[in-house]
Amino acid sequence: MRWGPEKRLEFIEARLFWEGIINRGDLIEVFGISAQQASADFARYLEIAPNNAIYDRSLKSYVAAEGFRPAVTQPDAGRYLAQLRLVGEGAITEDSIDLPLPAFDVVPGPTRKIGASVLRSILAAIRGRMAVEVLYQSMSQPEPSWRWIAPHAVAFDGFRWHARAFCDKDRAFKDFVLARVRETGSSRPSDVNSAADRGWHERVRVIFGPHPGMSEGQRKAVEADYSMTGGVSVIDVRRCFLFYFLKMYGLDIDAKQRRPQDQHIVLLNDEDVMAALVKERGVV
CB of 182 closer than 8 Å to CB of 135: yes
Q: What would you measure as the largest C-alpha separation in the chain, in angstroms?
A: 72
Q: What is the pTM of this model?
A: 0.79
Half-sphere exposure (Cβ direction) of 235: Cα atoms closer than 13 Å: 15
The per-residue pLDDT for 18 is 95
Contacts for 113 with CB less than 8 Å, ≥ 6 apart: 179
The per-residue pLDDT for 283 is 43
The per-residue pLDDT for 112 is 80
Contacts for 278 with CB less than 8 Å, ≥ 6 apart: none
Which residues in the chain come in under a pLDDT of 70? 1-3, 281-284
Which of 241, 246, 208 is CA-nearest to residue 227?
208
Sheet holding 233-238, edge to edge: 233-238, 203-210, 265-267
The per-residue pLDDT for 201 is 96
The per-residue pLDDT for 101 is 85
Sign of the torsion formed by the C-alpha atoms of 16, 18, 20 and 22:
negative
Sheet holding 61-64, edge to edge: 21-22, 61-64, 53-56
The per-residue pLDDT for 212 is 93
Torsion of CA 203, 224, 158, 107, to 10 degrees: 180
Which of 249, 164, 247, 169 is CA-nearest to residue 211?
249
Q: Which value, in Å, is the radius of gyration of the alpha carbons in the chain?
A: 25
